[in-house]
Structure 1
Amino acid sequence: MNDGINWEPPQGSWASSAARRRNMQAIRSRDTKPERLVRSLLHAQGLRYRVAAKPLPGLRRTADIVFRSAKLAVFIDGCYWHGCPEHYVPPKTNSSYWSDKVARNVARDRDTDAQLEAAGWTVLRFWEHDPADDCALKIAAAVSRLRNRSQ
């Protein structure tokens, strides 16, 4: 058993300490509180959707909420991981690694948006700090508009 006293990061690991590694591993990539709030509001309106689903079979990326029939992909992005212009604060330790990581995430987000839109999908992105009520209203309106358009 490793008590963390003489902890060495695994070969090729980015973690600077055992505590940092545990902290980073605990961060959720799905079912975050903002996602659950928005989903709950959508469900209460009678809307049904897929959670953490791939909108396109060949695209190795998942949307937080997917309405297949409306071809709508919804992303609720974390302020830190996706570089929120309002709340992102560059890290003080290992800043070049983390700043590069966030920049890659933002570039991947833009690429995902472009690929989905090229395939005829509508993409909605919200920040984790956006009010859940506002997000749910915008999503429900988009679903209604897109479903009516396809009929």
Structure 2
Amino acid sequence: MAFGQLSVKGRALRLLAGREYSRLELERKLAAKEPDPGEVKQALDELQAKGFLDEQRVVESIVHRRAGRVGSGRIRQELQAKGIDAERVAVAVASLNATEFERAREVWRRRFGLLPEDAAQRAKQARFLAARGFSGEIVRRVLNTPDDE
């Protein structure tokens, strides 16, 4: 059976077999091929009731996959873009904040490894960390701490 011939629920299950999706993501993907939004809503309601669609699993999946490479700011942004409710986002970000410095330090160490010698290097390293969602305070701490600590 081709992808276009599957039912809405079948297409949703096929997508969920690959990775966790938030409800909003699935609505967007399925609405592109399904003219009846009521059918999409009903299929997603059924999948959610059966536990196939779970926003907490989406949060855990993103945090697990991304925490080693990006800061809590970037993860917050990704979760919000996926339509995760604000309370779950806040809890996930709060749990990441405890390890933010260590994670930023490891990301910095893998990329650079040496403290900046001049203002241009410092700016480059700071932009690198900021682009990955680490806060200004964390960036300053990483760039002001000798590597042997």
What TM-score, normalized to structure 2? 0.32
Return the structure number with greater helix share: 2
What TM-score, normalized to structure 1? 0.32
